[in-house]
Copies of this chain bind each other. A is one copy, B any other.
Amino acid sequence: MPDQDQLHAMRHSCAHILATAVQRLWPEARFGVGPVVENGFYYDIDLGTDKISEEDFGRIETEMQAIVKDNQTFERFEMPIDEAISWATEANQPYKAELLNDLKRAGTTVAKDLNADELGTIATGDAQVENVSFYKNGAFTDLCRGPHVESTGKVGAFKLQRVGGVYWRGKDSNPQMQRVYGVAFATPKELRQYLDILEEARKRDHRKLGQELDLFVFSEMVGSGLPMFTPRGTVIREELAAFSNSLRQRYGFEKVWTPNITKIELYETSGHWAKFKDELFLVTSQETSDKMVMKPMNCPHHTRIYNSQPRSYRDMPVRYLETTTDYRDEKSGELGGLNRVRALTQDDSHVFCRPDQLEAEIDNLLAAANDLYATVDMQLRVRLSYRDDTDAYLGSAELWASAQDQLKTAVIKNGLNYFEQAGEAAFYGPKIDFMVTDAIGREFQVATVQLDFVQPERFSLDYTAEDGSRQTPVMIHCALLGSIERFMSVYIEHTAGKFPVWTAPEQVRIITLNQEDETVNFANDVWQQAKNMGVRATVDNAGESVGKRIRAAELYKIPYTIVLGQKEIEGGQVTPRIRKDLSVNDEVVALPITNFLQTVLAESLTRTLKSAL
């Protein structure tokens, strides 16, 4: 297995091979930059009036494979910069010439393998450039810092992915070029695995499923990054939030409620205003002179509730829970589906406790997180984010040492897969970051547990200790799901929309075998019985054939479908169709309708992942 440097060299060499192939097919091609990116590489190309389309990928890849087969050596050589400029001009490579001229003007001692992002660094150099380096393979020569693999035969497996339009150096006053992307891995097997995951991710894309399964909608009139949830999507939101809440209510958390806005004063006190003022939605009152903002987090509001009563050591810990929507003014370009939104609902909670209570409180929260992620069938690992030796942290060193120790003890006690990282703490305290792996192996950071030694001081929070002295509590911030919207984007893709019974918006689809009154009435009775029990069901007695209606239920990925006709009316039994991924038995037997509904209810309440039928 190659290390990361080796893989980088392979991918970078792929970019040169791509350019070599393109130059063979379009000798007039002019090249921009060709760097390595995550999982692959790209090259910016200008063919003049001609254009590369994805239909050309076949012949480009054939040419690339021929170059690989040639096993051309990558030869490095240097040239004085003025000579290099002449070379570029003669070779009809105006973009390379421009880079070299900039390099000469700005001055730096090393000729980099330039790409748009790196151009900025040129301007800071001050030494005189003398030589720049080149790499040559076969007939293709490129200005390049390297390194490369030894020869074109050693680049592993690659595949061109897509082509898009870009402006040279990202400026829309510059000429337009085409950027051809490819992916590359050390072995064909790794490439195939990656392409399989890409294809699987495409099928599971939560934006696509969100529409197909009727879960959420966006509207131009409302604005970007502001999803609205349909009845089906709202079921999932509410089930997830209720579960997260119940896990913490078990440990004494109590619900509170705070508004979505506040005067700026609250954040001036907390310190958030100085840090985040450019990322907040500003709120203007037309009736008063209040200067307000939408809350981007809930801790300062919660300190106001804590502070509304005198607290004694006996009252501690005080634990608040609130599922509430925060607003962050994200740039439009960064918004996509539920992954990044401007209205993010947090399953937030805050503990105010004595320093000696930290470990037990963290322990409870980790137990809750463990339970939650096991239930949604995601692998959880945590990062213990500690301070480092710099003076970027507030609070006494002893408090930090003790707190970090207690975090670690609680993590170990909960049997969590963890790693430690110094320098990753917040300035106000150490934290635990939750990372989950989804069904197709992607890792996401979802939520955190954070200690906070700063806000209690800034808000002058206190409690009376046993000896009568006034002490400052420690705060613990914790969300289990994090942003419910973002978690849902992960969850929808993790399940591919095949929700287990407890989060399935519709648990049972009832299909009538015919349109006769007796059948329709019977179906409605079963529906009413389900509803009264708390099972989410709907009746489909519309004009389509039974086959088509079963197919419609399958498209909605409904866990159970039952078809009701004369036999079911007479026998009072059903043989449910079970969604394939839920089923554990090859053959499903008929059972009384009430038993069937009770089973569905029990599966929902116990949040099982498989059918008991």
Question: Which residues of A pack against B, CB within 8 Å?
Answer: 214, 217, 219-224, 226-231, 233-235, 237-238, 254-263, 265-266, 269, 278-288, 290, 292, 294, 300-301, 304-305, 308-309, 314, 320, 325, 327, 329-332, 342-343, 542
Contacts and interface: CB of A to CB of B under 8 A. Distances in A.
A292 B222 CA distance: 9
Contact of A287 (B223, B235, B279, B343): B279
Contact of A226 (B227, B234, B262): B262
Nearest to A220: B265
B222 A301 contact: yes
Contacts of A227: 259
B223 A262 contact: yes
A231 B256 contact: yes
Contacts of A221: 262-263, 265-266, 269, 300, 304
A286 B282 contact: yes
Contact of A285 (B266, B287, B300, B329): B329
A226 B304 CA distance: 12
B255 A309 contact: no
Nearest to A263: B223
A259 B325 contact: yes
A506 B269 CA distance: 33
A133 to B, nearest CB: 41
Given A261-B327, A343-B259, A282 B279 contact: no
A46 B596 CA distance: 82
Contact of A230 (B217, B219, B308): B308
A114 to B, nearest CB: 30
Contact of A228 (B238, B282, B305): B305
A484 to B, nearest CB: 10
A228 B214 contact: no
Contacts of A217: 304-305, 308
A3 to B, nearest CB: 39
Nearest to A226: B259
Contacts of A269: 221
Contacts of A259: 222, 226-228, 325, 342-343
Contacts of A254: 231, 234
Contact of A329 (B234, B258, B265, B287): B287
Please report whether the interface of chain A is mostly helix, strand, loop or mixed according to DSSP: mixed
Contacts of A230: 256, 305, 308
Contacts of A256: 228-231, 234
A266 B343 contact: no
Nearest to A309: B214
A281 B283 contact: yes
Specify how many copies of this chain sit in the oligomer: 2
Contacts of A342: 259, 261
6 contacts: A219-B304, A221-B304, A223-B290, A224-B288, A234-B255, A238-B255
A59 to B, nearest CB: 42
B261 A223 contact: yes
A481 B263 CA distance: 28
Nearest to A332: B288
The 7 tightest CB contacts between A and B, nearest first, are A231-B254, A259-B343, A229-B257, A217-B308, A219-B304, A282-B284, A221-B266
A281 B292 contact: yes
A288 B331 contact: yes
A293 to B, nearest CB: 9
A261 B235 CA distance: 22
A217 B256 CA distance: 11
A156 to B, nearest CB: 41
A290 B288 CA distance: 23
A266 B221 CA distance: 5
Contacts of A288: 224, 329, 331-332
Given A261-B223, A262-B226, A286 B292 contact: no
A586 to B, nearest CB: 36
A117 B39 CA distance: 76
A229 B320 CA distance: 11
A234 B319 CA distance: 14
A285 B342 CA distance: 10
Contacts of A343: 259-261
A542 B262 CA distance: 37
A257 B237 contact: yes
Contacts of A294: 260-261, 283, 294
B286 A231 contact: no
A292 B237 contact: no
Given A234-B254, A292-B223, A304-B221, A261 B281 contact: yes
B283 A228 contact: no
B280 A283 contact: no
A285 B281 contact: yes
A281 B309 CA distance: 31
Given A226-B261, A228-B259, A283 B282 contact: yes
Nearest to A262: B222
Nearest to A256: B234
A598 to B, nearest CB: 20
